[in-house]
Structure 1
């Protein structure tokens, strides 16, 4: 027995050594096989898009490289010149994380990292790691490999606005006109609803107001494509019934309430008015006007309208805004002096003065009397707390947006924009207009919330508004679509954005990114007609020249861009668009003169 034990004791170290040797051999074989892995990156060079650099990486391993009890991963890093290396992500070849393509383990993954100008020149690196699952400290690494260069910043050359102001001051010494609340309905429906875009909570506040009397007018409307001819009347009646029922439950002042209802009779005039104020191209407006003012029955006109180029726009953006009922409530108020208003508002904000000393409009107006953002924020916060009305939320959202513009700290800026979005959301719930939702879309856009911004741009367009407002919305919506690589969608949006500098610049960029250089030149030159000697337009045309290998165009426009804005000289020297000209006379001549 002792002999057997001695023999086993001698064998154990040998077995351990064999196991370790086998582990080392397996890891080494995996690393050796990894030299045949296939890595593709799209786009390459990497391109900045808004606040992010987004790309797709596909990794395919050799057949039978993966082993039981072992795992393999690929770390992805970006190293900018003069900057600390940044870990972007990893592709983990674990069970359930990869698929087989032609019998080879494959992962396709979307990756991104934050953009800053300091990262304009750099390389994307990968490094594979083979790991023993049982003893995780046993690893072997592949050599680092460069798989892409960066960054192409041309997609950032779009023109954005995203500016929205405070609400115009409507506080007047004379009696104020009626307050109007809009209620929108689903197609062919007349029941009230309390979710996004409705004003029922605001209407409840009017019902509870302690006043002697209220004069209310409720007007119903419907879109031409809706079934039945009595929907407008049913919508007006639904709101009348709601008001009466809530009045019994919420009103304790026994005020006198006079409610009148009316409907907008069916005619094509309302549609023509909205088409006239829409962002449709002039020729499409003329086509719709000629059709609706021409001969034929309503049914024939509706059928003909569906065949026009403008119908998709009308169905998506105009008809939803015609399915509504308006509630008008008439109040009278008097005005206090600016100094008195300011002192009372400060007292309300500090909770040393009763909130009922000022009306909603008086408190809102008092906030405009101070230029200090911190103080203005306090007054609008007091207005939110005491009135719960949409103008207070909207203006508070504007204050937070202004504060974000002035803050240089990325995290603080994001936090301020988040607060702006919260308040603009509340404003949107209470007052669903194109202006409010454009502000909300812009705040999301500034924060980098691309999907949310796109949703609110579309919602703002559907609500309708002035032609100037719709042009602004479509222009910034197109800028966002360029950021996310939807160039065809951007071009379509720019069809409805008017003939502005921003429109032509972004059309030029869209065609440039689609490699339609003649189209890009056409629109950049139109932008220069509107804004002569614009540095960005000339710089963009220089990029077109570089891509076309047209040294003359590149040199002339780059020289003009730098003449107007010296910062473009430094940008050109690091821009990948001019990499093939680096060190050559054409680029030196353009940048040094």
Structure 2
């Protein structure tokens, strides 16, 4: 009997041992198979920094035998730099989480991690591991480098994003009307639900506690809508909406008069928008000649459709003409500067009510102080007292200026978020190219690229002075370079004017598209506009490296280093010069 018990215990021990050993052996076989047969592909390689992120595609394929019910094979992707590790993603090869490609389980994903100067140089690593789904036991492959980083050439773009406080023209503009614009779909005169923010602004005007309002509604239609009465219908639709809101929301019993005006679908408005557009001068003159000709309206529309600028007209001018604008007139008396400043300080210190001064008065008072924090308090009081667009806009600029002076990244992002909040409200109340350019720039600086692109486009559609629109297109193109849309950037730069920024970014776009002849031409033009520019010289040196032109590399790299010593360290770390590290041309260029 004792012998039987001993044999039974021995059998149980052997069974457990074999079970544990079997699981461990299975996991070990899986990681050995992975190390031998998995295929990792990274594009681009080396990795490239674009804007504030490093974007790449990583494709992982493993042998089919690694797909099991009781065990799971996973792959960790991470980036190593300066003895630090930054986890990027984990791929899991379980049923439903991969596809088959050429008979192999495959995972393909677009990945990214935030860019920072300290992350260059670095390397992209992968490490696989097999895990027992029941007890969590794991076995790891050896970590393997799959890509190097970073190429930073896409960062060599030129941006402006310069916007500031509104000009202090209080005395001249204190009594200008408030405005809100509604846009319509082609051939439509119905206000749709997408106008939500404009509707909220309109309701604020309805709620204003004033004795009287003089409302003027001005509507227009595009030339393609000729032969209809859409402009009049749009004006009436907006006027009716204001009357309806007054009936529902106004409890002050203010006296309101509303009149409507129509800008005909004829040539005057179109000519005005063409003349202020950033279209190249020869093409602009040709389009203006068509509009000013004696042809019928329909013939002019057809001729414009055949012109090389029709895409711009169709995308940016015609939509802006399908609109109705409501103006609300206010009349307010003006106080002295000294009185305004003293009252504004008391409001900022919460010693008197904010509504003692109007928004325009507080804005003017804010212009009298150089202190950003005091300006902020004045503009915040202006927002509370009247809720009008200049206060929101200038408060947004205050936060933007604070962000420019802030070196802590988290605090900078928070300040930009506040800037965006206030600039957004300014845009709702005064939709104009200037305001939306500022909002797009704030999003751009914060790294919110899709939002920035949306507001750059909106600024262009709203129209404005030629110089303003050229700057919008120039910074829009810079963003498109940052997100890798080089063809779109080149298209935008057609309307950005002939400036240093335009030529530098055209040069970079062609460089990244590997059109080195075109890139060299634009960088040379940029140097003519800004002689001695270190960035232009350095960019020409990069072309020399990519085209294996040692003379072009040496000559321009030396000029860049002489113009700005910081480019010496950059060149030493730049992977673009990897093949020239030991060459005399490269070494000689670094001798200042």
The TM tier, using the shorter chain, reads over 0.9
**Counterpart in the other structure of 1:554:** 553
2:384 is matched with which residue?
A: 385
In structure 2, C-alpha distance between the alignment counterparts of 1:501 and 1:395, rounded to whole Å: 29
- Given the superposition, is the C-alpha separation of residues 63 and 175 from structure 1 closer, same or farther in structure 2, using an over 3 Å criterion? closer
Shift of 1:508: 0.2
Specify the SS of the correspondent of 1:151.
Answer: strand
1:2, CA displacement in angstroms?
A: 7.7
Tell me the equivalent position of 1:77: 78
Q: Aligned-pair distance for 1:63?
A: 2.9
Contact 1:73–1:128 (CA under 8 A) maintained in structure 2: yes
Unpaired runs of 5+ residues, structure 1, are: none
Structure 1 position 109 matched with structure 2 position 106: no
Quote the residue 1:37 is aligned against. Answer: 38
Classify the secondary structure of the residue corresponding to 1:47: strand
Residue 432 of structure 1 deviates from its aligned partner by 1.5
Structure 2 residue aligned with 1:479: 478
Per the TM alignment, residue 210 of structure 1 is displaced from its structure 2 partner at its CA by: 4.4
Distance 1:439 1:291 in 2: 34
Deviations 1:341-397 (A, max 9, x none): 223223323433122311120012222222222222222222222222222111111
Contact kept? 2:489, 2:509, Cα under 8 Å? yes
Which deviates more, 172-181 or 16-25? 172-181
2:182 touches 2:195 (CA, 8 Å); kept in 1? no
Deviation, structure 1 residue 443 = 1.1
Contact 2:42 / 2:146 at 8 angstroms: preserved in 1? yes
Comparing 548-557 with 115-124, greater Cα deviation is found at: 115-124
Superposed CA RMSD in Å reads 2.0
User: Following TM superposition, by how much is the alpha carbon of 1:573 offset from its aligned partner in structure 2, in angstroms?
Assistant: 0.5
CA positional deviation for 1:228? 4.6
CA distance in 2, matches of 1:339, 1:319: 47
**SS of the counterpart of 1:187?**
coil
Q: Deviations over 1:53-97 (max 9, x none)?
A: 1111111112323332111111122222x3422222222223322
Q: Distance in 1 between matches of 2:382 and 2:192?
A: 26
Q: Is the contact between residue 54 and residue 112 of structure 1 (CA under 8 Å) also seen in structure 2?
A: yes
Partner in structure 2 of residue 92 of structure 1: 92
Q: Is the 8 A contact 1:223 1:323 kept in 2?
A: yes
1:66 equivalent in structure 2: 67
Q: In the superposition, relative to structure 1, how do residues 478 and 263 fare at CA in structure 2: closer, same or farther (>3 Å)? A: same
In 1, distance between residues paired with 2:419 and 2:45? Answer: 36
Normalising by structure 2, what TM-score? 0.95
Q: Distance in 1 between matches of 2:491 and 2:226?
A: 31
Distance 2:173 2:26 in 1: 88
* Equivalent-residue separation in structure 2 for 1:196 and 1:557 (angstroms): 53
SS of equivalent residue, structure 1 residue 538: helix
Separation in 2, partners of 1:146, 1:307: 54
| Structure 1 counterpart of 2:26 | 26
Give how far 1:283 is off.
2.4
Task: Give runs of aligned pairs for residues 162-173 of structure 1, distance below 5 A.
Answer: 162-172=161-171
Indicate if the aligned counterparts of 1:197 and 1:430 stay in contact, CA closer than 8 A: no
The question of 1:521 aligning with 2:520 is answered: yes
**Mean CA deviation greater in 186-195 or 92-101:** 186-195
1:253 Cα offset (Å): 5.0
In structure 2, distance between residues paired with 1:432 and 1:197: 13
Deviation, structure 1 residue 161:
0.9
Range that drifts further, 328-337 or 432-441: 328-337
> Contact (CA 8 Å) 1:121, 1:151: kept in 2 or not?
yes
Deviation, structure 1 residue 211: 4.1
Aligned to 1:463: 462
Is 2:27–2:139's contact at 8 Å kept on the other side of the alignment? yes
Q: Is the 8 A contact 2:123 2:147 kept in 1?
A: yes
What residue number does 1:427 align with?
426
For the residue of structure 2 that corresponds to 1:334, the secondary structure is coil
Q: Deviations over 1:400-457 (max 9, x none)?
A: 1111111111111111111211222212222211111111111111111111111111
Cα distance in 2, alignment partners of residues 210 and 105 from structure 1: 68
Q: Tell me what 1:325 maps to.
A: 324
Between 459-468 and 206-215, report the one with greater CA deviation.
Answer: 206-215
Moved more, 505-514 or 176-185: 176-185
Question: Shift of the alpha carbon at 1:233?
Answer: 1.1
Distance 1:83 1:21 in 2: 36
> Could you tell me the TM-score, scaled by structure 1's length?
0.95
Compute the displacement of 1:552 (Å).
Answer: 0.5
* Aligned match of 2:274: 275
Shift of 1:292: 2.3
Find the counterpart in structure 2 of residue 510 from structure 1.
509
Paired with 1:196 and 1:12, the residues of 2 have a C-alpha distance of 75
Contact kept, 8 Å, 1:527 with 1:537, in 2: the verdict is yes
Note if contact 1:72-1:130 (Cα within 8 Å) is conserved in structure 2: yes
2:570 is aligned with 1:575: no
SS at match of 1:533: coil
**Alpha-carbon distance between aligned partners in 2 of 1:173 and 1:278, rounded to the nearest angstrom:** 27
The alpha-carbon deviation at position 42 of structure 1 amounts to 0.6
**Which SS does the other structure have where 1:306 is aligned?**
helix
Contact 2:67 2:95 in 1 (8 A): no
Output the CA distance in 2 between the equivalents of 1:125 and 1:531.
42
Structure 2 stretches lacking a partner, 5+ long: none
Distance 1:188 1:423, change over 3 A: same
CA distance in 2, matches of 1:252, 1:415: 38
Shift of residue 175 of structure 1? 6.8
Residue 10 of structure 1 aligns with which residue? 10
Partner of 1:540: 539
1:108-507 aligned at under 5 Å gives the runs 108-136=108-136, 138-172=137-171, 176-193=175-192, 195-196=194-195, 199-226=198-225, 228-252=227-251, 254-507=253-506
| CA distance in structure 1 between the partners assigned to 2:519 and 2:411 by the alignment | 38
Cα distance in structure 1, aligned partners of 2:181 and 2:451: 23
1:51 and 2:52 matched: yes
Distance 1:194 1:392 in 2: 27
C-alpha contact 2:128 2:141 (8 A) present in aligned 1 = yes
Of the structure 1 ranges 468-477 and 234-243, higher mean CA displacement relative to structure 2 is found in 234-243
- Number of matched residues? 591
